[in-house]
Amino acid sequence: MRDGRAGDASRLWPVLLEDGCEPVHDVPPGGEPGALVGVRGDGWQCLVEVGRCTVEVVTGPRPSLLDLARDHERAMGRILPAARRAGYRLLGFGIQPRTPPGRSLLSPKQRYPYLVEATVGRWLSWCVTASDQVHVDAGRDDLVPLMNVMNALSGAVIALTANSSVYRGRPGRFSSGREGLMTPVTEEPYRHGAVPRAFAGLEDYVRFVLGFRCLFLPNGRGGYRLVQGPLVHLAGELGFERYLFHDHYWWPSARPRARLGTLEVRPACQQPPAASWAAAALATGLAEAHREASALLEDLAPDPWPALLAFRGRAVRDGVRAVEPVPGFLAHAVDLAEAGLRVRGFGEEPLLEPLRERLDRGGGPADDARRLARESGAQALAGALALG
């Protein structure tokens, strides 16, 4: 809302439907359409995600980030006026700055109460977070090397894009609150965020995923049911469709999306208005340059993962001010991303400039948000971060 508290995105749907958009309903596997959870426009969708207060704008696929930006701008040209009519502001921030998570914020998708029960309520922190995710095309031969590099570099992505440092109405201890607060979602190490090692191949990856507890499954009657134990130990349950469902509920920083043929890069916070495409440019450029990035990581140590995991933890806490594994590590990551974007040939390199500015001044938007919240309060912060 205008004072920085959580609103209800469902108030946007009637306005956008009157404006010519098409409805999007929650549809459980094998079930009938359920609650209205968003709308679809020309080349974009606006959806409610885990929390009622989080608007997810989906575009793509497109050849370039500049094409995506045009689709996104067209979407925001419809969504922002609808938000204003509803008395809301949309924020360029990675977490709800004032309202704490709770069941009242859970969106009306049928599967979410099962996730809340399976995680004893810890999953509710997702009700108030907003990430800036990008999918990159990934073929079978490149998938595992690409996934390994992007998970290894997740600390760099977090450090450069951390922007969720004010929550529950006050400055928090995490620069990336969305990463820090979501890590213990199931009390299973590495279920969310960090990945402990590189994967040797697809079989190694699948076996790793199957080791996690299966939280819930479709019940075959258009609904869901809770289950107990790893999927691989559930008699008669293991099959490709059930595996894909289970795979959707582990949340590493970079994960394959088998149905789409992409790698989803997840750890960046929603960015401030002036840097809307910086996170997507960083992830896309690093993915394009993943072979060169792999060589950079190998130079850190014979086994770089312990150092990278330690850095990731510091990045979640300190953002761009985090002590780097080696001097210049973050600047080198941005250089690699710029080289990768240049190879693509679309002129996307200027989108990285906000990240270079953060490195030059030794501070990022998480630091700015904390300072403004201390000086003027979370309500003033919401006004400063408003989109449009």
> Per-residue pLDDT tens for 24-62?
999 998 889 999 999 999 999 999 989 999 999 999 999
91 lies in the same domain as 137? no
Q: If pLDDT is split at 50, 70 and 90, which confidence band does 264 have?
A: very high
In a domain, 177, yes or no: yes
pLDDT of residue 2: 67
Look at residue 166 and tell me whether its pLDDT is greater than 70: yes
**For the segment 265-314, what is each residue's pLDDT rounded down to a tens digit?**
999 999 999 999 999 999 999 999 999 999 889 888 889 999 999 999 99
Has residue 236 been placed in a domain?
no
Which of 43, 75, 107 lies at the terminal end of a domain, its last residue?
107
The single-letter DSSP state of residue 49 is: -
80 with 152, same domain: the answer is no
The verdict on 320 and 356 lying in the same domain is yes
Considering the entire predicted model, what is its pTM? 0.96
Domain that holds residue 70: 1-107
String of DSSP letters for 231-269? GGGSTTT-SHHHHHHHHTT-EESEEEETTTTEEEE--PB
Looking at the domain assignment, is residue 239 inside a domain?
A: no
Question: How confident is the prediction for the chain on average, in pLDDT?
Answer: 94
Number of domains present in the structure of the chain: 2
Same domain, yes or no: 53 and 173: no
- For residue 184, what pLDDT band results from cuts at 50, 70 and 90? confident
Q: Name the pLDDT band for 236 (thresholds 50, 70, 90).
A: low
- State whether 91 and 167 are in the same domain: no
**Residues 102 and 145 grouped into a single domain:** no
Mark whether 363 and 305 lie in a shared domain: yes
Q: Is 153 exposed, middle or buried (0-12, 13-18, 19+ CB in 10 A)?
A: buried
Kindly report each contact of residues 370-374 with a partner whose C-beta sits within 8 Å and lies 24 or more positions away, as own/partner: 370/165, 370/166, 370/171, 373/97, 373/166, 373/170, 373/171, 374/171
- Distance (Å, whole) CA 265 – CA 335: 19
344 found inside a domain: yes
Q: What average pLDDT does range 224-242 have in this prediction?
A: 80
Residues 283 and 207 in one domain: yes
pLDDT digits (tens, 9 = 90+) for 309-334: 999 999 999 999 999 999 999 999 99
- Both 166 and 300 in one domain: the answer is yes
Domain co-membership, 7 together with 143: no
CATH for 173: 3.30.590.20
- Clarify whether residues 75 and 175 are in a common domain: no
**What phi and psi values does residue 57 have, to the nearest 5 degrees?**
-100, 120
Tracing tokens 């050849």 back to the chain, one arrives at 63
Residues 274 and 322 in one domain: yes
Q: Read off the pLDDT of each residue in 18-24 and give the average, rounded to a whole number.
A: 96
